[in-house]
Amino acid sequence: MQELTHFINGKRVPGSSGRFGDVFNPATGEVQAKVPMASAGETAAAIEAAAAAQPAWGATNPQRRARVMMEMVRLINRDMDKLAEALSREHGKTLPDARGDVQRGLEVIEFCIGAPHLLKGEFTDGAGPGIDMYSMRQPLGVVGIIMPFNFPAMMPLWHIGPALACGNAAVLKPSERDPSVPLMLAELFMEAGLPEGVLQVVNGDKEAVDTILDSEIIQGISFVGSTPVAQYIYSRAAASGKRAQCFGGAKNHMIIMPDADMDQAADALVGAGYGAAGERCMAVSVAVPVGEETADRLIEKLVPRIEKLRVAPYTAGEDVDFGPVVTREAQQRILRLIDRGVEEGAKLVVDNRDFKLQGYENGFFVGPHLFDHVTPEMEIYKTEIFGPVLSTVRAGSYEEALKLAMDHEYGNGTAIFTRDGDTARDFAHRVNIGMVGINVPIPVPLAYHSFGGWKKSMFGDLNQHGPDSFRFYTRTKTVTARWPSGLKEGGEFHFKAMD
């Protein structure tokens, strides 16, 4: 059985704690690798090595750092299929979805090539008599990056790229569920020209995380995961004076107005609700049709589309719609929540609770499910299910639909499908959610805009990638300078007459 490693000072290093976690093949349920769980001592040593490497990297001019990003773009494109296959093998995503995971991370690395421009400061000439003022953006130093399982390529690249481009050293703690791709990315960064020690990858669990949070060396924390853990990490990081951006859960609503193109809306819901088995923080998990007639038309369109979805392992071909969820525990949790929805009175229109895939009976597969007549009091509405489950909440009016999205504790993403520009504009301006789609179901911004939610979906004041990432990973230093006057006149070689 394969035994994975950490990545310290430019090379793979075996774990020494004696503790290991299982890395599963989600399609078969079999353990395919062991990943070391770092001790506090191992983690602290990696942090100290990063601190030793950071000053020289921070002093490297931004253009040279950007050239590492430029080469990284080439290397990721070169190894795209290799990265995607490793990602699918551990996470369970289809190959097209895995390539998309890598591609969206790659786009942020492309954005980081513009670091020299993004790191420019400001200058004021003549702020006072003989006084100039200017500001500089300087790296934080060493940052901790703690990433989730659902995007093992995209999420690390979203954070590693800007952190390194700004001149920081980074200690990455990837998910222990699918750790191979982050290790592969670290090797590619070295091949791209990153100095040894500037990027460390430490695999582990809460012991490693708490060591990162409590380290006096670490100056900033980036986290993506569930809301309870995001709150924990944000509060613990803030208590020790660290800058922190922590991104949590989501319950994304898609409002369907009576004038919407119902085929377009149904196609969008199926892709956004069931893609990647629903394991996306931007997945649409709540459909909100406005009016009973709209709801009936929508359900009529959805059912045949959902029943045609092909659920299979990534090895079954490019036409697989989605694969298994990541662990047995995730599978069982999703099925428990589906049972709970039935108990609470929701109508299970598409029921695949007995779904079994021939030859893969021990895999972590969950078939697609569709609920109708869900109400806000139900657990399946309040909870992020993180699986292939779409809930339909019928709204009597546009205002009622808007209120549903605004009253939910999560505020990551939302969408509205309509042909009416006035309604769309009103929705975009009023809704208290960080990312809004208009006839776009998953409104993930491109790399040169920033990504982040509101309410309990995000803790901190600066978002992921785009301009916010360069603000997060740097401190601003402002200099006020005045030079004595008269020196430019040069030396005098005679006695000056007394006045």
Residues marked active site are found at 281
Q: Which amino acid is at 110?
A: E
Q: Which amino acid is at 287?
A: A
Please list the residues that pair with 24 across neighbouring strands: 31
Cβ–Cβ under 8 Å, residues 390 and 351 = no
Distance of CA 412 to the CA centre of its chain: 12
Tokens read off for 307: 């029943």
Alpha-carbon distance of 229 to 19, in angstroms, equals 22
**Torsion region of 136: left, alpha or beta (phi above 0 gives left; psi -120 to 50 gives alpha):** beta
Alpha-carbon distance of 286 to 294, in angstroms, equals 15
Alpha-carbon distance of 202 to 47, in angstroms, equals 9
**Torsion region of 86: left, alpha or beta (phi above 0 gives left; psi -120 to 50 gives alpha):** alpha
Q: Which residue has the tokens 């602290």?
A: 44
Please list the residues that pair with 244 across neighbouring strands: 221
Q: Which amino acid is at 462?
A: L
Residue 351: CB atoms within 10 Å: 15
Alpha-carbon distance of 29 to 325, in angstroms, equals 11
Please list the residues that pair with 4 across neighbouring strands: none
Tokens read off for 464: 């992921």
Q: In what order do the strands lie in the sheet with 2-3?
A: 2-3, 30-36, 20-25
